[in-house]
A = this chain, B = another copy of it.
Amino acid sequence: MARVVVDVMLKPEILDPQGQAVQRALPRLGFEGISDVRQGKRFELEVEGPVDEATLARIHDLAESFLANTVIENFTVRVEEAAEAVK
Contact, CB under 8 Å: B84 / A78: yes
Q: How far is the CB of A14 from chain B (nearest CB, A)?
A: 13
The reply to whether the CB of A39 lies closer than 8 angstroms to some CB of chain B is yes
Check A46 for interface membership: any CB of B closer than 8 A: yes
Given that A31-B62, A66-B25 are known contacts, is A42 also in contact with B39, CB under 8 Å in the complex?
yes
Asked if A43 and B34 make an inter-chain contact with CB atoms under 8 angstroms apart, the answer reads no
Chain B residue numbers with a CB within 8 Å of A45 are: 34, 36-37
Q: Does A26 contact B (CB under 8 A)?
A: yes
* Interface residue ranges, A against B (CB under 8 Å): 1, 7, 9, 19, 22, 25-26, 29, 31, 33-49, 55-56, 58, 60, 62, 65-67, 75-79, 84-87
